Amino acid sequence: MITPFAASGAVDAQSFEKLAHHVLDQGASGLVALGTTGEVAALSAEERAVVIETCVRICAGRDVPLTVGVSGNDTRSTIAALRALPGGVTAALVPVPYFLRPSERGVIAHFEALAEVTPVPLVVYHIPYRTGQQVGAATLRHLGAHPMIAGVKYATGSVDQDALDLLADLPTGFDVLCGDDPFVSPLLALGASGGIVASANLATDRFVALAQAWQAGDAERARELGQRLFKLSAALFTEPNPTVLKGVLHVRGLIPTADVRLPLLPASAASVAHADTVAFGG
Ligand SMILES: O=C(O)C1=N[C@H](C(=O)O)C[C@H](O)C1
């Protein structure tokens, strides 16, 4: 989920709720709030609490899972953030510790320490182009053996050797979710269980159809949908996420403004118009 802002600059909880129901009506299996797409780094603690409360109410009412991004790059503060999660949250999406660049043994020690105390299962958010931290298949497999580590949001910017290695031999009960929009179709084809992708704020029903087609073994339909959605994701990521996405959601009347918070800048009108055309035709 993106986080919509009102013209006043405040988080617009009503619009958030409207968009959340919209994506769930279109078939999303649950909500993920406070990811990078939700501009979590630019929200205050109070604003994050408002987003979580709103999502808890919606997800409880619709009986769908809620995954919440829990940021932090040191173990102690991440444990505190996990312990502070309110009831009603189903899972926590926790980035591989960014900026500090520990060894992979350090990454394992970090997630094992979190997994021992977390009140909800963890989804490891592996996005090395944002964190600066490499994590290989063996490390993810090791983490996936812990009963409180439920999966990985895999976002390495490619379908790489580690993805192939991991998907070829997954720990029981450990899911790979594609976290990188252009690669959702190939990763689903290789056995990923689903995706957490920004573009699905916009074309939710098409992403649902894509996942269903791969799961049903309908490769012809899945390939065709995947190729079209690749073009949409490419258009939505021509400028830093979620700026173009918010522009198109605004043009489509789904959110009140296209505003993002500094240091993000609003996308250019040309990028928004191009993405809108790719999404809905010219
Ligand atoms: O916040 C997310 O979840 C996502 N963020 C990624 C990013 O902005 O790098 C993209 C992905 O679609 C989902």
Q: What is the extent of the structural domain holding 134?
A: 13-216
Any domain includes 138: yes
Ligand 1 residue neighbourhood (C-beta within 6 Å): 32, 35-37, 127, 179, 181, 196-198, 241
Q: State the distance from the centre of ligand 1 to the C-alpha of 197, rounded, in angstroms.
A: 6
Q: pLDDT 10s digit of each residue in the chain, 282 long?
A: 999 999 999 999 999 999 999 999 999 999 999 999 999 999 999 999 999 999 999 999 999 999 999 988 899 999 999 999 999 999 999 999 999 999 999 999 999 999 999 999 999 999 999 999 999 999 999 999 999 999 999 999 999 999 999 999 999 999 999 999 999 999 999 999 999 999 999 999 999 999 999 999 999 999 999 999 999 999 999 999 999 999 999 999 999 999 999 999 999 999 999 999 999 996
Beta bridge partners of 175: 151
Q: State the distance from the centre of ligand 1 to the C-alpha of 179, rounded, in angstroms.
A: 6
Any domain includes 54: yes
What lies within 8 Å, CB to CB, of 53 at 6+ separation is 86
Any domain includes 169: yes
Any domain includes 240: no
Decide if the complex's ipTM is over 0.85.
yes
Q: State the distance from the centre of ligand 1 to the C-alpha of 106, rounded, in angstroms.
A: 24
Q: Which atom of ligand 1 is nearest to the CA of 241?
A: 8
Q: Which atom of ligand 1 is nearest to the CA of 199?
A: 12
Any domain includes 134: yes
CATH number for the domain spanning 143: value is: 3.20.20.70
Any domain includes 267: no
Any domain includes 278: no
> Three-state SS across 198-262?
HHHHCCHHHHHHHHHHHHHCCHHHHHHHHHHHHHHHHHHCCCCCCHHHHHHHHHCCCCCCCCCCC
Number of domains making up the chain: 1
**Element housing 122 (H / E):** strand 122-126
pTM for the full predicted model: 0.96
Any domain includes 6: no
Establish whether 129 is a catalytic residue. Answer: no
The pair of three-digit structure tokens given for residue 205, joined into one six-digit string: 């029903």
Q: How many CA atoms lie within 13 A of 65 on its CB side?
A: 12
Establish whether 18 is a catalytic residue. Answer: no
